[in-house]
């Protein structure tokens, strides 16, 4: 490589999903509705501020800037204003569209400030920053579903420059993500670039360090499947080599899964103590951010029957506990019960009395094809109203699917068995 400026730095971010609604917390009194509605914008504000504070030379946005077509022009106007702030700081921005903001998805357009380069969607383009001796290669999504390997048509790297590939891709396939613009690590390496700035996968992952190929993750978790710290990557380059990569957390609301083993809990105060400890740990780990948590109770305990008999009441109990902790705020997204009873249901079920017979009848209940179709029909209207995030991904929820109906039946059976076993004389 020829002479490259001694030192420069850039931010690599992806999957901004501006104005995407966070899921799971707007259903009860006291939920952080304001934080939910503004979370993606606040996180993006943090990205802009970080770029200015670190005096980076440019910012890379690797797709899914938006969350689909704008409801109105406010989303676009917000983005233009933030780009103008970066322009005033002398920072350039390079953007590609992803599946959520593909050319076919965004019907409105606004003139962007002249520091922003939006790459074409019909072919790869190269943007050169002469004073840094940097070449940035990229192509956006023309449609929501791109199934071909876009990287194949990217140009070979210029050996006289520091080359960056900007690409929205599922790479070789990632659980929970649509297989858009698939490509291979070997294919990316063959281009001779020093850095591949990827987007689409919401969890941070360094794929390779020779050359650097990585997903920075999204900048703000949007639901319980996106737990933990979220942010962007700050890259420092010197003499044509990446000398440092730093993950910078810029999320404003943290999602957390609190898993609590209640094995051996025989009293209410012991259960409360374990849950409260888990809640405090989630708050401490969030570094002063508000937290939305799902509480998962597991293990074998005599509390099993009480928990399953009144799950809604217990959810409110724990919700009140979370709210009462103070600090930045912790809200309970959902209570999930995976506990077991110390009473052996199989022994009771084997008895020849009425209770044993009833338990056997419940355990043997199954849904045949006709029953499934009959139950699914009224649920189809509900399915049409669900957000696309719930209908796809690693934890997809389709209330009309045979699998989901069977899971619901198992939950009902467990509830019936639990209540029967809790009756006197069982």
Give the residue ranges of DSSP H helices in 116-248: 185-189
CB 115 within 8 A of CB 93: yes
Residue 300 lies in a domain: yes
Between residues 377 and 208, the one the model is more confident about: 208
**Highest mean pLDDT of the ranges 87-91, 96-100, 173-177, 332-336:** 87-91
| Residue 165: CB atoms within 10 Å | 27
Assess whether 292 and 239 both reside in one domain: no
- The total number of structural domains in the chain stands at 2
**Does residue 94 have a pLDDT over 60?**
yes
Residue 146 lies in a domain: yes
285-334 residue pLDDT tens? 999 999 999 999 999 888 888 898 888 899 999 999 998 887 778 999 89
Task: Show which of 222, 249, 276 is a domain's final residue.
Answer: 249
Average pLDDT, stretch 70-77? 84
Residue 315 lies in a domain: yes
200-213 residue pLDDT tens? 999 999 999 999 99
Residue 88 lies in a domain: yes
Cα 331 from Cα 179, distance rounded (Å) = 33
Residue 299 lies in domain: 255-421
154-196 residue pLDDT tens? 999 999 999 999 999 999 866 656 788 999 999 999 999 999 9
Task: Show which of 249, 265, 299 is a domain's final residue.
Answer: 249
Assess whether 12 and 146 both reside in one domain: yes
Assess whether 108 and 220 both reside in one domain: yes
Task: Show which of 218, 249, 280 is a domain's final residue.
Answer: 249
Assess whether 208 and 271 both reside in one domain: no
Residue 234 lies in a domain: yes
**pTM of the prediction?**
0.80
Cα 399 from Cα 382, distance rounded (Å) = 8
Residue 2 lies in a domain: no
**Does residue 375 have a pLDDT over 90?**
no
Cα 79 from Cα 75, distance rounded (Å) = 6
Assess whether 337 and 402 both reside in one domain: yes
Assess whether 222 and 267 both reside in one domain: no
pLDDT at 71 (0 to 100): 77
CATH number at residue 220: 3.60.21.10
Assess whether 97 and 58 both reside in one domain: yes
Assess whether 23 and 134 both reside in one domain: yes
**Cβ density class 185-201: b for 16+ within 10 Å, e for less:** eeebeebebbbbbbbbb
Three-state secondary-structure class, residue 68: coil
Assess whether 44 and 167 both reside in one domain: yes
Cα 396 from Cα 161, distance rounded (Å) = 44
pLDDT at 102 (0 to 100): 76
377 sits in which H/E element? helix 369-385
Assess whether 343 and 230 both reside in one domain: no
Assess whether 128 and 191 both reside in one domain: yes
pLDDT at 379 (0 to 100): 66
Assess whether 395 and 267 both reside in one domain: yes
pLDDT at 310 (0 to 100): 87
């Amino acid at each position: 490589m020829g002479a490259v400026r001694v030192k420069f730095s850039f931010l690599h971010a992806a999957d901004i999903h501006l104005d995407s609604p966070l899921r799971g917390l707007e259903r009860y009194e006291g939920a952080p509705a304001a934080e939910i509605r503004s979370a993606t914008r606040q996180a993006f504000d943090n990205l802009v501020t970080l770029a200015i504070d670190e005096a980076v030379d440019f910012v890379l946005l690797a797709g899914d800037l938006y969350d689909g077509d704008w409801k109105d022009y406010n989303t676009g106007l917000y983005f233009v204003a933030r780009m103008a702030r970066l322009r005033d700081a002398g920072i350039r921005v390079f953007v590609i569209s992803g599946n959520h903001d593909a050319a076919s998805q965004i019907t409105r357009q606004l003139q962007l400030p002249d520091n922003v380069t939006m790459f074409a969607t019909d072919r790869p383009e190269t943007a050169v920053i002469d004073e840094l001796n940097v070449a940035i290669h990229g192509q956006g999504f023309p449609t929501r579903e791109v199934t071909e390997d876009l990287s194949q048509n990217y140009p070979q790297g210029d050996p006289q420059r520091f080359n960056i590939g900007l690409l929205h891709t599922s790479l070789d396939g990632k659980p929970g993500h649509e297989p858009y613009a698939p490509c291979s690590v070997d294919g990316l390496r063959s281009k001779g670039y020093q850095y591949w700035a990827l987007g689409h996968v919401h969890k941070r992952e360094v794929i390779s360090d020779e050359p650097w190929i990585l997903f920075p993750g999204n900048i703000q978790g949007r639901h319980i499947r996106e737990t933990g710290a979220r942010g962007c990557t700050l890259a420092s380059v010197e003499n044509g080599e990446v000398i440092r990569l730093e993950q910078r957390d810029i999320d404003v609301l943290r999602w957390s899964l609190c898993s609590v083993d209640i094995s051996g809990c025989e009293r209410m105060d012991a259960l409360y103590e374990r849950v409260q400890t888990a809640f405090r740990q989630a708050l401490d780990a969030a570094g002063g951010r508000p937290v939305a948590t799902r509480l998962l109770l597991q293990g074998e305990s005599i509390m099993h029957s009480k928990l399953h008999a009144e799950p809604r009441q217990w959810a409110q109990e724990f919700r009140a506990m979370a709210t009462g902790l103070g600090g930045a705020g912790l809200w309970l997204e959902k209570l999930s019960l995976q506990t077991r009873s110390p009473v052996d249901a199989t022994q009771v079920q084997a008895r020849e009395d009425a209770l044993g017979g009833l338990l056997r009848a419940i355990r043997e209940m199954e849904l045949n094809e006709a029953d499934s179709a009959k139950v699914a029909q009224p649920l189809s209207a509900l399915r049409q109203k669900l957000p696309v995030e719930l209908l796809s991904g690693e934890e997809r929820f389709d209330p009309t699917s045979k699998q989901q109906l069977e899971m619901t039946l198992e939950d009902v059976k467990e509830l019936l068995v639990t209540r029967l076993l809790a009756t006197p004389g069982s």
